Amino acid sequence: MMAAARKRKSEALGDETEDEERGDRRRRIRKTNKYIGAHVGIQGGIWKAVESSAALGAGAFALFLGSQRSWKRPALDPAAADRFQEKCSELGFDPAHILPHGSYLMNCGSPKDDVSEKSRVLLVDELSRCSRLGLRLYNFHPGSSLGAITTQQCLDKIAAAINHAHQQTPAVVTVLENMSGQGSTVGGRFCELRRIIDRVRDRSRVGVCLDTCHAFAAGKLGCNLDRHEDIRKGNIGLSAFRDVVNEPRLDGVPLILETPGRPGFQDAEQIELLYSLCEKNKE
């Protein structure tokens, strides 16, 4: 609510207020050392993700690197990539707090040869896009056995795809997301992520993204259903998120909302709520 109100004020008063807002956002981030944001759209140009994240009062963001519908995408426009990087420095977003999300089409562990091959190609393409955008992290869903191969075989295929992509691209860290264990997806158990990591040759280029919804569905609740819900509305209570935003080990780590949002309680309001839970913000 507050961020939306601030946005309207800035439209009326122009640049000066916008600078003030940017200052407020940066001060809050510095004070808390928490980088909270949302998954934002890239419609109209990839740099729009940076602008909309600033308007949300965010300190971090996630984005897709291209269309979710096609395996083959037009090459990244160099002018758009430059503009993205310029916007990041202008609006104060460090690459360490930007976490691109992999295409949902991809299944590096697929038992189908054509799908696993297309996924390997797409993974290389996505990591190359990250490099061109000056980004250092790349988060993706490990994959699914589709029930046609064993979990171990699926995990090995995923590790092989990662090793291949690392050879083809420089520096970007592949971040494995834990899953809810729905259907035959792998990565619902931490030991499965461990098996992939064990087989990745360059350990400096592999990390883990903890999805709280997926962990809750896979573990404590055990329903395995991937159902994201707004902060305060779902089965994970507000106290759990208070713990998250006050956890010193999560300082400097991008914390990304993947919540559906409702009228009056969209990304801006949920980011605002999470920052309001930070004790350091109250000091």
**Which residues bind to Zn ion, rule: CB under 5 A?**
177
Tokens read off for 40: 């934002």
Q: How far is the CB of 243 from Zn ion (least distance, A)?
A: 22
C-beta of residue 197 within 8 angstroms of C-beta of residue 168:
no
- Per DSSP (E only), the strands in 218-282 are 254-257
Question: Regarding beta strands 143-144 and 185-186, do their DSSP bridges make them parallel or antiparallel, or are they unpaired?
Answer: antiparallel
Alpha-carbon 125 to chain mean position = 18
Q: 21 vs 177, which CB is nearer to Zn ion?
A: 177
Q: 177 vs 269, which CB is nearer to Zn ion?
A: 177
Q: 82 vs 226, which CB is nearer to Zn ion?
A: 226
Q: How far apart are CA 270 and CA 46, in angstroms?
A: 23
Q: How far is the CB of 98 from Zn ion (least distance, A)?
A: 15
Q: How far is the CB of 131 from Zn ion (least distance, A)?
A: 21
Q: Which residue's CB comes closest to Zn ion? A: 177
Q: How far apart are CA 2 and CA 4, in angstroms?
A: 5
Q: How far is the CB of 280 from Zn ion (least distance, A)?
A: 28
Q: 110 vs 185, which CB is nearer to Zn ion?
A: 185
C-beta of residue 153 within 8 angstroms of C-beta of residue 105:
no
Q: 4 vs 105, which CB is nearer to Zn ion?
A: 105
Q: What is the CA radius of gyration of the chain?
A: 19
Q: How far is the CB of 265 from Zn ion (least distance, A)?
A: 21
Exposed (0-12), middle (13-18) or buried (19+): which is 193, by Cβ within 10 Å?
buried
Q: 29 vs 176, which CB is nearer to Zn ion?
A: 176
Q: How far is the CB of 107 from Zn ion (least distance, A)?
A: 13
Tokens read off for 184: 């035959």
Tokens read off for 243: 């713990």
